[in-house]
Amino acid sequence: GCAGGGSTAGGGGDDKVITVGFAQTGSESGWRSANTESMKTAFSTENGFNLIFNAADNKPEAQIAAVRSFINQGVDAIVLAPIVTDGWDDVLKEAKDANIPVILEDRTVSASEDLYASWVGLDFKKEGETAGKWVAENFGKTPTNLVVLEGTTGSSAATDRATGFNDAIAGTDITLLDSQTGNFTRAEGKTVMEGFLQKYGSQINLLFAHNDDMGLGALDAIKAAGLTPGTDIKIVTIDAVKDGMTALADGEFNYIVECNPLLGEKVAEVVKKVVAGESVDKQYIVEDQAFDQEQAKAALPDRKY
């Protein structure tokens, strides 16, 4: 908060405005909107920041160009929510050569750890594993046909969720019919699910969507095919945004693993420390919960995003 009257010119660097370039993925999902809002709130003028915001519409080349432009503008720090893991080595080296620290937010990169200062994010593999364990416990002992809507190909969120989920369902009676990307959006979740339904019809018993939005898009396709979501086709998703939690409480989804989008405060704290030359951890993992239908009903009234 504002301590009031605090404009005394101190000797420390504390009152210098920190200019931060934030390279966001885009605006593909409800999760992303909540994350952008959390970041903008934390990196506000009142908190001592000058935020330069860029959303790359999920185009990796555009995101690399945005980071390069932050370097050219001579920002104090760069925060990056990388769309995909690969392709970052060159521009991260350029940032390092220009003495501009990079802090990763949300997703990770495959580049060497010494090319960034810290990462604030989620354990995507564990999210996938939690979803897979629930599926294995509830459907693993009866023949069950599964389809998967994957997130953006090459993103750590999609890759690690798939790994965690597949590990957890290995050795069960669950058969994977098909798995395709829906790029984390409602529109593509719907289109890809329509394709699955045309191909496999009522053979499909279970859908795992890498995020709520694709699951919500799939609901339309399932209903249009004359099937009842949550009953004819069981649905498990990740994120737990309000629309997803509403579908879960209404019985249209069956289980959601949370992915916490409220990372702004932690990222701002880490950026301040890095810019001040203080030491920080290489990674900060934010905890996630999981919800079944009853737990969603209880949690929904207080859900903030």
Measured from the Cβ of residue 54, the count of other Cβ atoms closer than 10 Å reads 16
Look at residue 75 and give its three-state secondary structure.
Answer: coil
Helices and strands (H and E) in the chain: how many: 10, 12
The residue count for binding ligand AHR (CB under 6 A) is 13
**Binding residue (CB under 6 A) for ligand AHR from 29, 36, 181, 205:** 29
Q: Does 85 bind ligand AHR (CB under 6 A)?
A: no
Closest to ligand AHR by CB, 111 vs 259, is 259
Q: How far is the first Cα of the chain from the last one, in angstroms, to the nearest whole number?
A: 23
Q: Which stretch binds ligand AHR (CB under 6 A): 1-9, 28-36, 88-96, 220-228?
A: 28-36
Tokens of 213: 């939005």
Closest to ligand AHR by CB, 239 vs 252, is 239
The CA distances from residue 163 to 125, 159, 259, 296, 299, in Å, are 6, 6, 16, 26, 28
Query: In degrees rounded to 5, what are phi and psi of residue 200?
Result: -115, -10
Dist CA 51 CA 123 (whole Å): 27
Written in H, E and C, the secondary structure of 15-72 is HCCEEEEEEECCCCCHHHHHHHHHHHHHCCCCCCEEEEEEECCCCHHHHHHHHHHHHH
Q: Does 157 bind ligand AHR (CB under 6 A)?
A: yes
Residue 73 Cβ vs ligand AHR, minimum distance, rounded to whole Å: 26
Closest to ligand AHR by CB, 214 vs 221, is 214
Closest to ligand AHR by CB, 157 vs 221, is 157
Taking CB under 6 A as the criterion, which residues in 102-141 touch ligand AHR?
106-107
Closest to ligand AHR by CB, 30 vs 101, is 30
Q: Does 31 bind ligand AHR (CB under 6 A)?
A: yes
Q: Which stretch binds ligand AHR (CB under 6 A): 26-34, 69-77, 226-234, 277-285?
A: 26-34
Q: Does 259 bind ligand AHR (CB under 6 A)?
A: yes
Contact 277/117 with Cβ under 8 angstroms? no
Closest to ligand AHR by CB, 188 vs 213, is 213
Q: Which stretch binds ligand AHR (CB under 6 A): 8-16, 24-32, 226-234, 272-280?
A: 24-32
Residue 116 Cβ vs ligand AHR, minimum distance, rounded to whole Å: 17
Tell me the DSSP string of 127-176.
HHHHHHHHHHHHHTTS-EEEEEEE-STT-HHHHHHHHHHHHHHTTSSEEE
Q: Helices 264-275 and 30-42 meet at what angle, rounded to 10?
A: 40
Cα dihedral 207→212→214→216 (10° resolution): 90
**Binding residue (CB under 6 A) for ligand AHR from 184, 196, 253, 255:** 184
Q: Does 188 bind ligand AHR (CB under 6 A)?
A: no
Closest CA to 78 of 46, 107, 54, 114: 54
Binding mask 200-239 for ligand AHR (x = CB under 6 A): -----------x-x------------------------xx
Q: Which stretch binds ligand AHR (CB under 6 A): 29-37, 61-69, 110-118, 167-175?
A: 29-37
Contact 252/229 with Cβ under 8 angstroms? yes
Binding site for ligand AHR (CB under 6 A): 28-29, 31-32, 106-107, 157, 184, 211, 213, 238-239, 259
